[in-house]
C-alpha cells in the first residue's frame, strides 16, 4: 500500500511539474495588455514598408518594427465610455464567439483532428483507470508530501465556483468601466465570456452524459441521462480558464507559474474531495484551456485591420494595422 501511495504521489508531482512547465513556456506575450504602441505596415507597389518608408526584408507579418513617431512608453490603460455602443458590441461579440466555438467541429482540420485524437486517447486511458486513480488519491490525501497540495487546492477551490467568482468579476468590470481603467474591464469580461461559453458545454454534457459523482457510491461506470453532474468538472474548467486568461494578459512568467500551479491544485482537490472522477477533471481542464485560448485569439484578431490607401493621392497601396 505504501509503495502504491508513493507511486501515485510521484504521478501527482509530475502532473504539477508539467503544468508549471507548460505555463512557463506559454506564449503569453501574444495576448499581453495594450502597451500604447501602434504597428502599421503598408504595401506600396508590391513592396512592404512600415509607415510607407521603412523597407522590410520579408513581409509585414514577420516584421518586428514599429512606427517610432507613434510609439509611447506609457501603457494605454484608459478608454472612452460609450455605454450603448459598448453594450451592443459586447452582445454581438459574445454570441459571435459562442457560435464560432460551438461550430468548431464542423471546421476541424487534419492537424486539429490529430490533436483531438491525442487528447481523447489520454482521456480514454484515464477513464479506464478512473477507479484505481481515484482510490490512489483517496489513500494519499493525508500523506505528508501530498497534503500541502491538497490544502492549497482547498483554499482556492472557491475560485472555480462560478457563482462565487462571478460576483467579483462583475464587480471588477463595473469598477473598471466607471473609472475607465481598461485592464479592469478587459480581463474580467474575457473570463466571464469564457465562463459563459464553456458553461453551455458543461451543462449540456451534464444532461447527456449523466455521470454520477464518486461520493454517491455508485462506482466509476454509473451513468443515467439527466441524473448526474460529475462529467465534466465545472471547477476544473473555470479555474483553468481563469489561469489561462490572467497569465496571458498579465504576461509575467512568475505569475503564470503561480496561476497554473494553483489551477493544478484545485483540479487535484476536485478528486480528493470525492466530487469528481479523474477523467471528469482532465476533460474539463482541457476544454477550459481550449475555449479560453480560442477566445483570446478572436479578441486579438479583432484588432487587426486591412484598408486601402493612396497616401495623399500619390501612391496607391494597402495599410495593415494592428492595435496593441
pLDDT digit string (tens) for the chain, length 324 residues:
555 555 454 454 445 444 443 443 344 444 555 443 333 444 444 444 444 333 333 233 333 333 333 343 444 566 778 888 888 988 999 999 999 999 999 998 999 999 999 999 999 999 999 999 999 999 998 899 899 999 999 999 999 999 899 999 999 999 999 999 999 999 999 999 999 999 999 999 999 999 999 999 999 999 999 999 999 999 999 999 999 999 999 989 999 999 999 999 999 999 999 999 999 999 999 999 999 999 999 988 876 555 566 555 555 666 555 444
Grid coordinates standing for 69?
Answer: 513617431
Sign, Cα dihedral of 214, 217, 222, 223: negative
Find cell 477551490 and name the residue.
Answer: 157
Grid coordinates standing for 311?
Answer: 497616401
- Give the containing element (helix H, strand E) for 308: strand 304-309
Which DSSP state fits 157? G
Domain 2-15+77-303 belongs in CATH node 1.10.10: no
Are the CB atoms for 250 and 31 separated by under 8 Å? no
Are the CB atoms for 317 and 42 separated by under 8 Å? yes
Are the CB atoms for 214 and 276 separated by under 8 Å? yes
Domain spans of the chain, in order of start: 2-15+77-303
Which residues face 55 on adjacent strands?
Answer: 49
Which DSSP state fits 302? T
Q: Going edge to edge, which strands form the sheet with 54-55? A: 54-55, 47-50, 38-44, 317-323, 304-309
Contacts of 146 (CB under 8 A, 6+ apart): 9, 12, 140
Find cell 486568461 and name the residue.
Answer: 245
Residues 263 and 287: their CA atoms lie apart, in Å, by 14
Amino acid at each position: 500500500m505504501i509503495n502504491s501511495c508513493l507511486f501515485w504521489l510521484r504521478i501527482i508531482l509530475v502532473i504539477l511539474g508539467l503544468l508549471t512547465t507548460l505555463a512557463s513556456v506559454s506564449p503569453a506575450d501574444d495576448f499581453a495588455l495594450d502597451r500604447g504602441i501602434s504597428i502599421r505596415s503598408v504595401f506600396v507597389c508590391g513592396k512592404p514598408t512600415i509607415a510607407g518608408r521603412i523597407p522590410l526584408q520579408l513581409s509585414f507579418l514577420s516584421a518586428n518594427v514599429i512606427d517610432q513617431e507613434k510609439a509611447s512608453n506609457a501603457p494605454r490603460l484608459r478608454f472612452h465610455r460609450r455605454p450603448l455602443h459598448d453594450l451592443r458590441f459586447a452582445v454581438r461579440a459574445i454570441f459571435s464567439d459562442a457560435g464560432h466555438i460551438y461550430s468548431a467541429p464542423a471546421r476541424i482540420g487534419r492537424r486539429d483532428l490529430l490533436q483531438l485524437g491525442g487528447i481523447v486517447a489520454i482521456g480514454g486511458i484515464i477513464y479506464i483507470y478512473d477507479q484505481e486513480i481515484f482510490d490512489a488519491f483517496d489513500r494519499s490525501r493525508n500523506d505528508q508530501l501530498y497534503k500541502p497540495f491538497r490544502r492549497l487546492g482547498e483554499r482556492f477551490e472557491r475560485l472555480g465556483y462560478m457563482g462565487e467568482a462571478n460576483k467579483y468579476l462583475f464587480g471588477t468590470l463595473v469598477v473598471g468601466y466607471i473609472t475607465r481603467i481598461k485592464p479592469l474591464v478587459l480581463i474580467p469580461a474575457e473570463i466571464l465570456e469564457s465562463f459563459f461559453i464553456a458553461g453551455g458545454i458543461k451543462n449540456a454534457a451534464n444532461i447527456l452524459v449523466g455521470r454520477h459523482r464518486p461520493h454517491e457510491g455508485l462506482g466509476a461506470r454509473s451513468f443515467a441521462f439527466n441524473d448526474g453532474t460529475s462529467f465534466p468538472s465545472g471547477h476544473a474548467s473555470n479555474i483553468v480558464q481563469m489561469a489561462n486568461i490572467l497569465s496571458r494578459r498579465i504576461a509575467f512568467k512568475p505569475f503564470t507559474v503561480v496561476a497554473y500551479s494553483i489551477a493544478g491544485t484545485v483540479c487535484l482537490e476536485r478528486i480528493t474531495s470525492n466530487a469528481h472522477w479523474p477523467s471528469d477533471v482532465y476533460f474539463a481542464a482541457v476544454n477550459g484551456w481550449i475555449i479560453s485560448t480560442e477566445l483570446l485569439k478572436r479578441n486579438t484578431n479583432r484588432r487587426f485591420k486591412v484598408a486601402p490607401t493612396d497616401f495623399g493621392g500619390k501612391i496607391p497601396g494597402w495599410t495593415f494595422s494592428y492595435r496593441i
